[in-house]
Structure 1
Amino acid sequence: MINAPPKKAATSGWTQIPDELLIMIMQKLTLPDMIRFGCVCSSWRSASAPARHGKLPWLMLPYDTLANDGAYGFFSLYDQQFYKLQLPEAAGARIHGSSHGWLVTVHPESGIHLLHPFSRVRIQLPSLSTFPDVLGTFYSNEGGITYVLSSSKGCRAEYGFKWMRDAYIGKFTLSSSPSPSSSSDCIVVATYGERRKLAFCRPWDNRWTAVKTPWDSYEDIIFHMGRLCALDLQRRLVVCHIGYSSRVFEIMPPSTITCGSQWEYLMSRAGELMMILRDVKWISDADGPGRDCSCGLSGNDAMDIANNNEVDESDDHYDRDSSDNDIFLCKTVGFKVYKLDFNSRRWIRVKSLGNTMVFLCESNLLSLPACHFDRNRGDHIYFIDDSCDTYTREHREGVYELCAFKMVDQTIETYFRTDNQMNMPTPIWAAP
């Protein structure tokens, strides 16, 4: 089921403006103005969709799930400004990343949807209760929904909705951007469960279907040249053709690349399958200050500005002098990029990304050609240090930094830092 936002009555004069003139106007607009432009009427919304695709992505910031008001903060790299958008369609939902510009939201009562944050079109997916290892659901005495799962050892286990919403699902990826009028060509793949297995569906399916592979524990998934590529913890790559039945037809041997603590990401660029390794190091907050921020604002200050509130410079979100708080920061120290030679089945080191910009976070990755933008941002990896945690006796506090890694000189620049207690979800790149 596809739910589009209600259409507003359009003034006939606005709808009669020639497309050529609309295009000339849109070429002068920033993304925030482009969104306002699309709100005028349905014809302007349709005209602005292709133009939005040439804009830099926005960083969707953490939010307070307890507020339940559908308000989200967005940081624009283009003007380095913070904006606040209302997305009532995502109120109370857990957002599990973005693919082809669509957010994947998991709602109370098991509902899963694709949501476009800028057009606000929503497409329904099979519910959380239809994944392959969910045996059933029931309502507990506390009034919440409980899921009965088949564990890896063949036993039955029960989990509440909060755990299912926040931890059961790993990553999502889409084969293409779904069309609101016909989404049958779009395939959605997810990693799920404690062992991070694979399942897929189409928007009109009734349930999720398991993808049978020789192993599990998949770290990243992506569609490349129409095929699903999945990378596991041991950097084994599985390439699948997913039709009405899934079939594994090519398996790459384990990579021999080893160099310290790393996280792995897959990227499809110009017909090449690439792997980005992110080198990380755990350090104590007592070891010294973090990186300097180019904009000089914390994320909380930025949200205050987005809300037109005064910034309280004396506000501190936790007591750094308390002996009860042991603070450990997981800092990114660099990246290594490889491309896959399908003939030799070897990963080959790449020293430069050329004119490509990469935008990377915990839940998604996207790349864009820098030639479409005013400033030269090619050969950069924009990333989030999103696994920086403060472990206290009562809760976990998130510490996030938006940074840029320059491939040419291997240096890192920080744009802004946020210190808050809203650790779910981590920041997400949202493409226009």
Structure 2
Amino acid sequence: METVVQTTPELPQEILMDIFALLEIPDLVRAGSVCSSWNNAYTRIRNIGQKKQAQTPCLLYTSESAGENVACLYSLAEKRAYKLTLPEPSIHRRYLIGSSHGWVITVDERSEMHLVNPITSEQIALPSVITIEQVEPIYDNTGAICKYNYSMDTKMSVTRRSLTLALGKLRYYFHHKAHIFYDASVGSYIVVFIHNPFGQLVFARLGDEKWTRLSSYTNFQDCIYQDGVLYAVTAFGEIAFDLSGPVVGAKIIMDRVSDFYGRERVYIVQAPWGDMLQVWRPEAWINEEVDGHRHEATFEHKMKWMKYI
């Protein structure tokens, strides 16, 4: 007599994805290792950036004791830390300047940027900093880049003489913060980089060989991307950039709300009902004396300076 082995019918991928989208990150990763069908659903969710709306954030940090290439991911939901081995260059020696959609944007000891997914260990190199006009490479006798010439000029003004900086020192002066956005129309990501001097704005799509300048305006502080339009806020107002076509269009959608700059941080967020809101946060300034000189800096800049030294 022949024995018939019945298999449990599999749920459709769409239903699995709806269920998996509700899971916390550690549970989602575990679910992806159960079987090939579940792994396919997990991979599709990861690739399209679909996740639970009220996802509990995880904290990413490094430590000397964990190792040069190990990042620690602390789950607030589970109150547990996971150790993740990531590819070179050393994650412990990189700066982190942004994160979203499961990616972190890092700056290595050569001041070059990478996207890193701590869960999958995937790493993507972003265009070189030398494709931005403020950074000029300096080569040694072998033809290798050994230093950078950092210009403090913008298209709007000439400020001071250039600085000659070691490879790892440029990131202290030049890099401010970066954002990554998922563009559903092309199924890929856009990285927007706010850099110094004076908060200038460039962007790149994955696979681009260079950064693209968005505007001659300065003092950009934050941005958000929706339906092909990048909404970027400066210290004085708000500008919308249409990135959906081959030529970038720009439009001022909110004029200056303040003529005073320097004591507040400006953010742009999307409200639950769909409107874009500006959020203004007073900065905490620190006054101190260093080497006999009075020094004033924001708390953010102070922490960055402490990390650098």
**What TM-score do you get using the length of structure 1 for normalisation?**
0.52
* AA at the equivalent of 2:175: I
Deviation at 1:108, TM superposition (A): 4.1
Q: What amino acid maps onto 1:53 in structure 2?
A: K
Unmatched 5+ stretches in structure 2? 1-7, 288-295
CA contact (8 A) 2:71 2:86 kept: no
Q: CA 1:210 to 1:122, structure 2 compared with 1: closer, same or farther past 3 Å? A: same
One-letter identity of the residue aligned with 1:46: N
Q: Is the 8 A contact 1:19 1:47 kept in 2?
A: no
User: Share of identical aligned residues, percent?
Assistant: 23
2:274 aligned partner: 271
Measure, in 1, the Cα distance between the counterparts of 2:60 and 2:74.
7
Q: CA deviation at 1:195?
A: 1.7
CA distance in 1, matches of 2:77, 2:225: 28
1:72 maps to 71
Pairwise CA distance, 1:208: 0.9
For the pair 1:157 / 2:163, whether they are aligned, the reply is yes
Tell me, yes or no, if the aligned pair for 2:150 and 2:170 is still in contact at 8 Å: no
Aligned residues: 274
- Alignment match, 1:18: 10
Match of 1:191 among 185, 189, 194: 194
Q: Deviations over 1:73-93 (max 9, x none)?
A: 3343434x1312314136333
Label 1:161 to 1:82 Cα distance change in 2 as closer, same or farther (>3 A): farther
- How big is each residue's C-alpha offset from its partner over 1:232-254, in whole Å with a ceiling of 9 and x where there is no partner? 22x32121223433332234211
Amino acid corresponding to residue 86 of structure 1 in structure 2: L
Q: Which of 37, 42, 46 in structure 1 is aligned with 2:40?
A: 46
Distance apart, 1:146 and its partner CA: 1.0
Once the two structures are superposed, residues 220-239 of structure 1 have per-residue CA deviations (whole angstroms, 9 ceiling, x without a partner) of 12224421222222x32121
Q: What is the DSSP-based 3-state SS (H/G/I as helix, E as strand, rest coil) of the residue aligned with 1:126? A: coil
* Runs of at least 5 residues in structure 1 that lack an aligned partner in the other structure: 1-15, 285-327, 331-385, 397-422, 425-432
Given the superposition, is the C-alpha separation of residues 156 and 283 from structure 1 closer, same or farther in structure 2, using an over 3 Å criterion?
A: closer
In the other structure, the counterpart of 1:240 is: 241
Q: CA separation in 1, counterparts of 2:184 and 2:232?
A: 21
Matched, 1:33 2:36: no
Map 1:11-410 → 2, pairs under 5 A: 18-20=10-12, 23=16, 26=20, 30-39=24-33, 44-49=38-43, 50=45, 53-54=51-52, 56-64=55-63, 69-79=68-78, 81-89=79-87, 91-92=90-91, 93-109=94-110, 111-139=112-140, 145-152=146-153, 153=158, 155-176=161-182, 185-213=188-216, 215-233=217-235, 235-242=236-243, 243-256=245-258, 261-269=263-271, 270-281=273-284, 387=300, 396=306
Q: Structure 1 residue 194: deviation in Å?
A: 1.9
Report if the CA contact (8 A) 1:101-1:177 is conserved: no
Higher RCO (CA-CA < 8 Å; seq separation 6+): 1
Give, as a single letter, the amino acid of the residue that structure 2 aligns with 1:137: I
Q: Is the 8 A contact 2:181 2:190 kept in 1?
A: yes
Q: Deviations over 1:102-124 (max 9, x none)?
A: 21122344543222222333333
Contact 1:173 1:223 in 2 (8 A): no
Q: Are residues 133 and 244 of structure 1, via their aligned partners in 2, closer, same or farther at CA, if it must alter by over 3 Å?
A: farther
- Supply the AA of the counterpart residue of 2:148: Y
Indicate conservation of the 8 Å contact 2:107/2:114, yes or no.
yes
Structure 2 counterpart SS, 1:36: helix
**Paired residue type of 2:182:** S
Offset at 1:390?
Answer: 7.9
- Paired with 1:250 and 1:53, the residues of 2 have a C-alpha distance of 32
Give the C-alpha shift of residue 65 in structure 1.
Answer: 7.3
Amino acid at match of 1:164: L
**Is the CA contact (8 Å cut-off) linking 2:73 and 2:84 kept in structure 1?**
no
For residues 112 and 204 of structure 2, the distance between their equivalents in structure 1, rounded to whole angstroms, comes to 14
Aligned equivalents of 1:218 and 1:106: distance in 2? Answer: 20
User: TM-score by structure 2 length?
Assistant: 0.70
